[in-house]
Chain A
Amino acid sequence: MKGLLIKDLKLMKNQKSFFMVMAVVGLIFLITWDAPYFAISYITMMFSMFAITSFSYDEFDNGAVYLFTLPFSRKTYVREKYLFGLLTCLIALTVSTVLAIGASVIKGQSVDLVTIGATGLSSITICVLFLSIAFPIEIKFGVEKGRIGFIVIMAVFFLGFYLVMKLTQDGELMGVLNLIRKVEQLSGAVIVLGLGIFWCVAGLTSMKISICFLERKEW
C-alpha cells in the first residue's frame, strides 16, 4: 500500500501546472468574492479528482499489466485508490479552509465557522459521491471507456435528481423543501453523524464493487 501511495504522489507531480492553475483560480475566488465558501468547495473537488486521473497514469502505455506483477494484491490496489482519494480530498479541504479563514481575517470580515463547516461537509459529500461512482467505472471499463460511462452515469444521476426534485417539490412527505426544513431542525452532531454514515456506506459499497470488478479483470 505504501509503495502504491508513493507512486500516486510522485505521479501527482506531473499535474503540478494544473494544480497551480487551480490554486491560482481558487485564490482569485478567495480574494475577489466576499464569501469564501465557493473557493473551498472548488479547490477540494478539483484536487480530489486527481485520484481518478491516477488511473490514466497507471494505464499509460499498457503499464497496468506490469503494475499488477508487483507485490501487492488487487484488493490492496483498490483500497489504496480510495485512501488516496480520501487523502487528497481531506488535504485540499484543510488547506482551502485555512486559506479561506486567513483571507477572511485579512479582509477584516467575520468568520462564519458554521457555514464553513457546512461547506466542508457538503464538499466531502460530493467528493465521496463522485469518487464512489467514478472508481468502479474506471476499474471496470478502463480509462477511455470509463470516461464515457462516467459521463452517462452522472447525466442519469443528475437527471434523476432533477426529476425527483421537480416531481416532489410540492409533496408534503417527500418535498425537497420539506426535507431541507427537517434537516435544518436537526442538531449539528446528528447531521455530521448522518453524513459520516452516508460516506462510509457509499465508500465501502463502491470499494466492494471495485474489488469485485478488479478481481475479475484480465490483461
Chain B
Amino acid sequence: MLKLEHVKKQYKDFHLDCSLTVKPGMITGLIGANGAGKSTTFKAVLGLIRTESGMVELFGKRPEEITPEDKERLGVVLADSGFSGYLSIRDLIPVLKAMYHQFDQTYFEEQCRRFELPMTKKIKEFSTGMKRKLQVLAAISHHADLLILDEPTAGLDVLARDEMLTMLREYMEIEGRAILISSHISSDLEDFCDDIYMIDHGQVILHEETDTLLNEYGLLKVDGKQYERLDKTYVLRSRKETFGYSCLTNEKQFYQENYPDIVVEKGSIDELIMMMVRGDRS
C-alpha cells in the first residue's frame, strides 16, 4: 500500500534517509522525538516535498503519477496544519462532498455531534483537541483505504483519545485498509499498532512488530560486576546508570534463563525509545 525505500531529503542541518512499508490490514506506527523526521517522512509520502533520491510508492504509484482519484483513497491528519480556520464545519461539508465522491455526510455529521463539535463556529476558535477530532473525522468519512495520521491524538484528553482510537479501530474493521500513524504518546501506539518504526535524526533505527517489542525486548538492570560478565550478544544498547547499567535486549528470555540473578524488566515503548536514542551501541 505504501513503500518508502531510502527516501532522502537534505535540509540545512537535517538529513532524512527513511525506508518503511505499510501493508494492507496493518496499523504501522512511526515514533521518534520532536525533529526526528516524522513529519518530513509524512510530507514525502504526501508529495508535499521533493525528495532527492530513493523511492516513494503509494498505491503502487510514484508521487508524480498520483491522481486526485488516488488522493481520494487517502485520509490525512497533519500535526501542524488543518482546514482553513475561517471555515465552519457547516461550510466544510459541501466542500468535502464536492471533493470526495464517497463522502458520507450522515456519518460525518453524526460523529461531529458525538464529539460535540460545533457546526457553525469558525474552526480557528476550536481548541487543539477539537481541531484534531475534526481532522480525524474528515479523514475517515470518505471510505479512504489508507490513513496517514501525524499526531492525531495530540491535544486530546484521555477519554477523547480512547474514543478516537476506538473509532480508528472500527475503521480498520473493513478488510484491506491500513494506517500509518505517528504519536508522541507511545502508549497509544503500544496498544494500537501492529508494527512500529522508530526514527531518530532522520534514520529508522528500529522496526519491529509491536508484539515482539513488548514480549521479546526488555531492559536488563545490572551492576558493574554483572555487566562485565554479561554476554552482550543480544544487548542492543547500554547506558550507565547510578546503580550500574541499563541494557536493552531483544532476547529477554535468554537473559532470564541464563542470568537468574539479574533484574529483567519488560520496558515500555518510552523506555525502549530512550535506550535506542540515548544508549551506547554494544
Tell me the A residues contacting B by CB distance below 8 Å: 2-3, 6-7, 10-11, 13-14, 57-58, 60-73, 76, 218-219
Contact = CB atoms under 8 A, between A and B. Distances in A.
A66 B152 CA distance: 14
B80 A10 contact: no
Nearest to B69: A71
A63 B80 CA distance: 8
A66 B78 contact: yes
Nearest to A73: B68
Nearest to B96: A3
A11 B87 contact: yes
Contact of B85 (A63, A65, A68): A63
B68 A66 contact: no
Nearest to B90: A10
Given A3-B99, A72-B68, A218-B48, 19 more contacts: A3-B97, A3-B98, A6-B95, A7-B87, A10-B87, A10-B95, A11-B87, A60-B85, A60-B86, A60-B124, A61-B82, A62-B81, A66-B83, A69-B48, A70-B71, A70-B99, A71-B74, A73-B67, A219-B49
A104 to B, nearest CB: 38
A69 B100 contact: no
Contacts of B68: 71-73, 76
Contacts of B224: none
Interface residues of B, number: 32
Interface in B85-107: 85-87, 91, 94-100
A91 B87 CA distance: 23
B48 A2 contact: no
Contacts of B84: 7, 11, 57-58, 60-61, 63, 67
A70 B71 CA distance: 7
Given A6-B98, A71-B69, A65 B87 contact: no
A72 B48 CA distance: 13
A219 B98 contact: no
B151 to A, nearest CB: 13
Contact of A63 (B82, B94, B98): B82
A71 B85 contact: no
A66 B95 CA distance: 14
A162 B150 CA distance: 53
B135 to A, nearest CB: 8
A68 B82 CA distance: 10
Contacts of B67: 73
15 contacts: A2-B98, A3-B95, A3-B97, A3-B99, A6-B94, A6-B98, A7-B95, A11-B84, A61-B85, A62-B81, A65-B48, A65-B78, A65-B80, A66-B81, A219-B48
